[in-house]
Structure 1
Amino acid sequence: MKIKKKWLGAGLAATLVAVQAFAQAPGSVERGRYLMQSVVACGNCHYQRGPQGEPLPEKGLSGGMAWDEPGIQAHAANITPDPETGIGKWTDAQLAKAIREGVRPDGSLIGPPMPVAFYRHLSDDDLKAIVAYLRAQPAVKNAVPKSSYGFPLPPNYGPAVTAVKAPPRANKVKYGEYLANIGHCMECHTPRDGKGMLVKGQWGAGGQVFKGPWGASVSRNLTSHATGLKSWSDAEVAKAIRTGMDREGKPYRPPMGFGFYQNISDEDMGALVAYLRSLKPQAFAGTK
């Protein structure tokens, strides 16, 4: 099944392609907009979806996207400022804690697929910017069902996060790792064990299978192994991330958020690619 090209840029400002992240004030709505509409890509899950799985950005970040897998019946939350069905009654501190620690104001834990383990790396400034951006969005009333799990959630995702600072941009590999973390790239591009845990010894080796209206897609190997990106140029890697096309022009399938990644600045893309090049080469962990 071909993925409609119009999905890729729906509702996103094309001018973001030229925006350089260093020009955005730390903690500002503008910085939040850049992050949300590029590497962090929250709308990839929190947009409502149409009958073919296509995102509906005109309905904002009002949630409802569903995951129905063994042990997981999850629904993406409404994260617009609607006071009844969204986050309108949450304080900034409560919203920040929910994003970075996975804890709601009532003390309950947010379950998968929310990538809390990766969002714990969000810097204080970037977390503040994302909260500011969410506050600036139109409120959309959309009641979302509660998620349920066939297994107990952990008591927490780790100790309280007190302060996080992003690495300096001058260190391309470290800053690229930071971007990959807040973009939770390895949440999909690392294989999982029988308990659903990421296999850290195969970081970036791909192989996870994602089923949806598009059929089944398999996350590719992002390491510089022969079964991964070894023969790819940096420009080819960047183009694939931004366009959702492989080197032969064949479209990749969701859930990769290409419609958001097309807006990643050149500087940030260079850092991301530098980080991928630093990964230990690993054989592809799945089957094609």
Structure 2
Amino acid sequence: MEKWNHTSNDFILLGLLPPNQTGIFLLCLIILRFFLASVGNSAMIHLIHVDHRLHTPMYFLLSQLSLMDLMYISTTVPKMAYNFLSGQKGVSFLGCGVQSFFFLTMAGSEGLLLTSMAYDHYLAICHPLHYPIRMSKMMCVKMIGGSWTLGSINSLVHTVSTLHIPYCRTRAIDHFFCDVPAMLLIACTDTWVYDYMVFVSTSLYLLFPFIGITASYGRVLFAVYHMHSKEGRKKAFATISTHLTVVIFYYAPFVYTYLRPRNFRSPAQDKILAVFYTILTPMLNPIIYSLRNREVLGAMRRVFGILSFLKK
């Protein structure tokens, strides 16, 4: 690893891809996924904004998820692609702080927002008569505002704390973005306090919400099983199982990465796992919540005048 030059406060990102043709091929795949995620999430935000039939709590939450995913993938991929194509690995001290702040904000906010969406599904299926009262527009606004606010506060605390740690041996971060656990590995002081902070935040923003979401969807599946309509059960099972797949894709690698003790962690493994929640999930969400949703497909036909062949 490259030694720290005492005249510079900049960091070095060692990156994800090998500097060869394989790396170029993988970068092309990542850029393609970045394009699909950007177009898909932007289209979802536009649809929900302009189509009044989608002005319901469920779709307001979904629009925020798309916005978070759009910002999420834009925080990491462009810098990674630029460094690979330019042959440069440096990132400024301020740039690293900004990237870390936005990444952690999106991570925490999305974890809380997915919990709100699971609660919305739970009320809609298990308590349909109480849904209009419990999921009013004001409650929806509070959920969205709470997700953004709590995510930002958590991110600010971690970013400021991490940037105040002394780095005296090296400034080379073995990752493709300024990830807090990867930065803690190159600190020249005992970081047990910061490790504990990461553990607590991961539990509060990811682990407990994941447990809550799993329990909520379990209750929903139980209610769906007792539906009288066989066709209704089939559609509900398909929808819930698809949503659970995305949730697992997002939470499982995140929790596994951040809650593992340092002695059991590997930079190479951490980078591979990070691909799931930084690149793959933002691309999958608009696909899952659009192509499997008739109301969204109907909005696409009305707004864009396309996908008429999907109409049944």
Same fold (TM over 0.5): no
The structure showing larger relative contact order (alpha-carbon pairs under 8 Å, at least 6 residues apart) is 2
Q: Under a length normalisation based on structure 1, what TM-score does the superposition of the two structures give?
A: 0.25
Structure with greater helix share of residues: 2
Q: TM-score when scaled to structure 2?
A: 0.23
Pick the structure with greater CA Rg: 2
Structure showing the higher strand proportion among its residues: 1
